[in-house]
Every structure is written in structure tokens, then in C-alpha cells.
């Protein structure tokens, strides 16, 4: 086999590979002879079909099959002999594939870069420092009570936050317009569902009251024929509803997984979950700053475009599924979610993945079993049957490997933090979450 290597640009390589004709022809002949043992053909006894007939009937198809296998095999042999690490699939261009002649083709592909690790030290990390207060717990419990609350009729004028049942009829220059009317419409005041002034105009109205509002559609309204239009809405308020918070009782506690222990246990469980959320958010915030420092220290690292393209496709598929999309061969996802939406983040992910892999190898880090166990237990603590979840992780190799990878990454971050300047910033629970969350992802 003949192999020549050409550097076309950056990380791109082109292999020209020549394969002796005998390697292909002998493989085709062998496969045809094997097939002849089982072929049934009119005029011939089973297993007695002449090779000339087999060649005429099946030769082209078998040769095509063998060529595919030979190209795959010889490409792998060539990259190994030339000590190349392909990133992504090669682009194959055949030059000579005629029977009886040497096979020649070129394979164009990108290789993984040779990474020289730069010093990652002296960077500054901002770390929010906060505690979960009683007031923070009260605020979250109030949210839970709203979530489990119910709408009840209010015998008073409507206020912001109330839900009202209304009939309305819109007119423009005295004429009704499409989509401008409705009956028994449920509307939360302050939700912003309607055009400016509509919901505010209902505040203060009582059940049974009628009112006409003079309003103007926004200049950027979706329907062009109504943009900037002056209109009137005749409104009849039929009912005012307000949210009655769920009581602090066993029903509420059970809805959030606390079956025993009453309010004291419920509050303790809420606090524990908030502290876990705070701890994870701050850790992720710090970790992201460390990873950014790694990337900044290697800003000139060239990365394979093939890996970026794969990452873009993966991110596009994830986003499509997150929005409830289902696979459809007729749907052009690239038009719906173009590459530019993901390119920058994909570049960053690929570069970081290559750098972290190199650094883990350099530092010879191994996932600490105790930290793996701690991480799994932390995940499991959010479920009703933690022990079952722990056992499941240890029985699923793929899931366990993901946790080990995460722990390894965290151990590397801890090592890099030793040379960083950590600036702690005292803040409230909500401020800490607001600071940390934009960094996650």
C-alpha cells in the first residue's frame, strides 16, 4: 500500500492512498466463490454455478461492497502508519477503481491539534457568599402556597394580580375589527397579555360594571393593519377572582414531599433544598470562571471545524427537543435553527473539551471514589427513595461514567483554584443566585 500525506491548511490533511489491485480482486473472487455455494440459479445444480456466471450476475455489486470495506480498512491503516489522529469523518474521492488496476483514492480530513498547555494562574475569581435566612425560607414557602392556591371570587373592585372574567368588544371608527372581541375571557391583570392600557383600565372595576376604554395599538403590533390604530373597547366585568393561598397544612407539605413532621420538618426540608441550590449555584459560578480562564490562556488554539459542526448539530437537536419538537425528516432544522445561533458556544465547548482532556492527562487525575459517592448521594437526596437512586447510578455504567467525568472536572478546577485570587462578595441569597445563574450553561 502506498501512502502520501499533504498538509492542505491548518489542521487539514490529505492522504493519497494506493491499494494493489490484487488485494481488491482477490477479495472479490473469494466472496463470489463463497456466495456460489448457496446460490440457486435455473440450469445449474446448487453450488455448481460457474464463476464466470457469478461474475456477470453479481460481480459489480460484490466489487462495490468490497471497495467500501477496503477503503475503510486502508484508511485506518494509513492514519496509524502516519501517526495521525483524525477529527471527524474523511471526505473520500476515488481516482482509480477499475477492475484489474490498482485502486487509488484521496481522503481529506482534519486532525486533532497538538496542544501545548500554557500557564493558567494568577486569575481572579468572584465568589458570592450568602446564607439562607428565615425570610428567604418564608419567601419560597409563599411561592409554594401560591402554586397550590386556588382562585376564589372577590367581592371588591379588581386589583393588579387579580383574575377577571370579562366580555369585550373592540371597534375602530365605529366598526368591529377581527380579533377584537371575546366573551367570558379569563384575564390576569398585570400579565401583559393585552395591549397597553387595557388591563390597567379594568383595575378598580367591580363585577357587573361596564366601561369603555380609548386605546391605541402599539406601532410594532403583530397585525400590520392595526399598528398605531386608535380603537375603543367596551368592557363588561363579570367576575373578580383573587388567589387564595394554600394553608400551611399537611396537604401542602405532602405536595412537596414531606409526609411527616409537620411545619417544622417542612421548613427544615425547604431550607436544606435552598442551601443545596445556593451551594451548587455558587460552585458552578466559580467553576465557570476557572474554565473561562483556561480558554483565555489558550486563545490561539486552533480547533477542528468538524468537531465544531458536530457540537452545533448536537446543540441544535437539544434545543429542538427542549421546545417540544419531535424528529421529522421533512423538517429542515438548519433553516429553523441556523448554525450561527450555536457557533460561538460550540467553539467554546470544543476548545474546552480538548484542553480539559489534555490537562487531565498531564496532571494524571483519577476520579476520587469518595467524591463520586458524595455527588451521587447529593443527587439522590432530592428523590423520595434516595437509596434506590444511588443503586441505580452504580448499576448503570453510562450514568456512573458521567458522574465520574463531572467529578474529575471538579477536581481539576479545585487544583487550578489553588493559584487563583478568590474575591468573596457578601450578598443575600437572591443576589447570590442572580449572580451565579447567568454564568451557568
Answer whether residue 390 shows pLDDT above 50.
yes
Which band of pLDDT confidence, cut at 50, 70 and 90, is reported for residue 324? confident
CB 71 within 8 A of CB 92: yes
What's the whole-number average pLDDT of the chain?
92
- Calculate Rg over the CA atoms of the chain: 34
CA-CA distance, 79 to 86, in Å (whole number)? 8
First to last CA, the chain: 48
pTM of structure:
0.75
pLDDT digits (tens, 9 = 90+) for 145-158: 999 999 999 999 99
Answer whether residue 441 shows pLDDT above 80.
no
pLDDT for 438 equals: 60
Domains of the chain: 2-111 (3.30.70.1050), 124-134+261-439 (1.10.3120.10), 150-244 (3.10.50.40)
The secondary structure of 67-84 as a DSSP string is HHHHHHHHHHHHHHHTT-
Number of H helices and E strands in the chain, helices first, is: 13, 11
Which band of pLDDT confidence, cut at 50, 70 and 90, is reported for residue 329? low
Ranges 147-156, 172-181, 331-340: which has the least confidence: 331-340
pLDDT digits (tens, 9 = 90+) for 179-226: 999 999 999 999 999 999 999 999 999 999 999 999 999 999 999 999
Three-state secondary-structure class, residue 369: helix
Nearest CA to 431 out of 271, 269, 285, 270 is that of 285
pLDDT digits (tens, 9 = 90+) for 399-425: 999 999 999 999 999 999 999 999 999
Q: Residue 423 pairs with which residues in a beta bridge?
A: 126
pLDDT for 427 equals: 94
pLDDT digits (tens, 9 = 90+) for 235-287: 999 999 999 999 999 999 999 989 899 999 999 999 999 999 999 999 999 99
The secondary structure of 31-80 as a DSSP string is HHHHHHTT---TTS-TT---HHHHHHHHHHHHHHHHHHHHHHHHHHHHHH
Mean pLDDT, range 331-345, rounded to an integer? 87
pLDDT for 160 equals: 95
Amino acid at each position: 500500500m502506498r501512502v502520501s500525506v499533504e498538509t492542505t491548511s491548518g489542521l487539514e490533511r490529505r492522504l493519497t492512498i494506493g491499494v494493489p489491485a490484487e488485494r481488491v480482486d482477490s477479495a472479490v473472487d473469494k466472496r463470489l466463490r463463497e456466495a456460489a455455494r448457496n446460490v440457486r440459479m435455473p440450469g445449474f445444480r446448487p453450488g455448481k454455478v460457474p464463476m464466470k456466471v457469478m461474475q456477470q450476475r453479481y460481480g459489480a455489486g460484490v466489487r462495490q461492497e468490497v471497495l467500501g470495506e477496503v477503503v475503510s480498512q486502508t484508511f485506518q491503516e494509513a492514519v496509524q502508519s502516519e501517526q495521525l489522529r483524525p477529527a471527524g469523518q474523511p471526505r473520500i474521492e476515488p481516482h482509480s477503481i477499475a477492475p484489474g488496476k490498482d485502486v487509488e483514492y484521496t481522503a481529506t480530513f482534519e486532525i486533532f491539534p497538538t496542544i501545548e498547555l500554557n500557564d493558567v494562574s494568577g486569575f481572579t475569581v468572584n465568589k458570592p457568599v450568602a446564607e439562607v435566612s428565615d425570610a428567604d425560607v418564608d419567601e419560597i414557602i409563599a411561592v409554594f402556597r401560591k402554586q397550590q392556591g386556588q382562585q376564589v371570587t372577590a367581592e371588591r373592585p379588581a386589583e393588579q394580580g387579580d383574575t377577571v372574567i370579562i366580555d369585550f368588544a373592540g371597534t375602530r371608527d365605529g366598526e368591529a375589527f377581527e380579533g377584537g372581541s371575546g366573551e367570558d375571557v379569563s384575564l390576569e391583570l398585570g400579565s401583559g397579555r393585552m395591549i397597553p392600557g387595557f388591563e390597567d383600565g379594568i383595575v378598580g372595576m367591580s363585577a357587573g360594571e361596564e366601561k369603555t376604554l380609548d386605546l391605541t395599538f402599539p406601532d410594532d403590533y403583530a397585525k400590520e393593519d392595526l399598528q398605531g390604530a386608535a380603537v375603543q373597547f367596551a368592557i363588561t366585568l363579570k367576575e373578580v377572582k383573587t388567589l387564595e393561598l394554600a394553608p400551611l397544612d399537611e396537604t401542602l407539605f405532602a405536595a412537596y414531599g414531606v409526609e411527616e413532621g409537620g411545619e417544622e420538618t417542612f421548613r427544615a426540608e425547604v431550607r436544606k433544598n435552598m442551601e443545596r441550590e445556593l451551594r451548587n449555584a455558587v460552585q458552578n459560578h466559580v467553576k465557570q470562571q476557572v474554565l473561562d480562564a483556561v480558554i483565555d490562556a489558550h486563545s490561539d488554539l486552533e480547533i477542528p471545524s468538524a468537531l465544531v459542526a458536530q457540537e452545533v448539530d448536537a446543540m441544535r437537536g437539544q434545543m429542538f427537543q427542549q421546545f417540544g419538537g419531535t424528529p421529522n425528516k421533512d423538517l429542515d432544522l438548519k433553516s429553523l435553527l441556523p448554525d450561527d445561533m450555536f457557533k460561538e458556544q460550540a467553539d467554546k465547548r470544543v476548545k474546552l473539551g480538548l484542553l480539559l482532556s489534555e490537562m487531565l492527562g498531564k496532571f494524571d487525575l483519577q476520579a476520587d471514589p469518595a467524591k463520586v459517592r458524595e455527588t451521587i448521594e447529593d443527587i439522590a437526596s432530592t428523590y423520595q427513595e434516595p437509596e434506590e437512586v444511588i443503586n441505580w447510578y452504580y448499576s448503570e455504567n453510562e450514568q456512573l461514567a458521567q458522574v465520574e467525568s463531572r467529578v474529575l472536572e471538579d477536581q481539576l478546577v479545585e487544583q487550578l483554584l489553588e493559584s487563583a485570587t478568590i474575591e468573596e462578595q457578601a450578598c443575600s441569597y437572591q443576589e447570590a443566585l442572580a449572580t451565579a445563574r447567568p454564568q451557568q450553561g
